[in-house]
Amino acid sequence: MLTSVDRLLFVRGVPIFKELRDDFLVRLASIMDELSFPANHTIFTEGQEGRALYIVVSGRVSVHLRGQELAKLEKGTCFGEMSLFDAEPRSASVTTLDSCECLILTQQQLYEAIDETPGIAVNIIRLLSRRIRELNHELNEKQQEIQDLARQQGLGYLQDAQRLQGEPVPRPPSEDVLFGLDRVNEFPYGGVPY
């Protein structure tokens, strides 16, 4: 269990609370509960109602969705913050990888704290925005990888089939051919049909 000084020092290092005044951090740290979880314990599951944010004090947790791990979180990271702002079910499950100590901040505690110091809301919005940007970046990279792989495999299958038949491999069509712009003059009045 953390002493009040250790708890204050720990909360001060958590990214969403970094810009808060010390007097607010003292109050916030004092109202948080400390929970212990054994290894391989499910803290919450996808779809479950939740109204609390968790901060990892020690150990590690896995954030996963339908059997696929999304992230591993360690000391000083938080999870569950989206449920503090909406009434939607949890978007993923969280399971401990090791025995784990967490601080917990409930929705009611947070709302009371925001009433006193609105800066905490700004910090949480920044954290959520950063996570959304990171997820968008990862999604864009994966989509690009899939498109590149599809192009490579599509051209590879065509080349393999033509090699078996002994035919030369044609060049891929230009965008003009793909969109019918190479035959503009075949239509009446010299335009593309509409």
Question: Is 114 a domain residue?
Answer: yes
| pLDDT at res. 161 | 61
Q: Which domain holds residue 102?
A: 4-128
Strands (E), 76-137: 78-79, 93-96, 100-106
| pLDDT at res. 115 | 86
Listed ranges 7-11, 20-24, 92-96, 130-134; the one with the highest mean pLDDT:
92-96
Model confidence at 152, pLDDT cuts 50, 70, 90, reads confident
Give me the CATH number covering residue 124. 2.60.120.10
| pLDDT at res. 194 | 38
pLDDT at 14 over 90: no
Name the maximum alpha-carbon separation found in the chain. Answer: 85
Question: Is 15 a domain residue?
Answer: yes
Could you read off the pLDDT of 47-61 as tens digits, one per residue? 998 889 899 999 999
Model confidence at 84, pLDDT cuts 50, 70, 90, reads confident
What is the Cα–Cα distance from 187 to 165, expressed in whole angstroms? 36
Question: Is 14 a domain residue?
Answer: yes
Question: Is 138 a domain residue?
Answer: no
Model confidence at 130, pLDDT cuts 50, 70, 90, reads confident
Give the mean pLDDT of the chain.
79
For residue 154, give the amino acid letter. G
Cβ(121)–Cβ(55) below 8 Å: no
Pick the range with the lowest mean pLDDT from 121-135, 141-155, 165-179: 165-179
Residues counted in the chain: 194
What is the Cα–Cα distance from 124 to 113, expressed in whole angstroms? 13
Question: Is 92 a domain residue?
Answer: yes
Domain count, the chain: 1
Question: Is 17 a domain residue?
Answer: yes
**What are the residues facing 103 on neighbouring strands?**
34, 55
Question: Is 84 a domain residue?
Answer: yes
> How, if at all, do strands 68-73 and 100-106 pair?
unpaired
Q: Name the more confident of 44 and 148.
A: 44
| pLDDT at res. 166 | 60
What is the Cα–Cα distance from 76 to 103, expressed in whole angstroms? 10
Cβ(80)–Cβ(130) below 8 Å: no
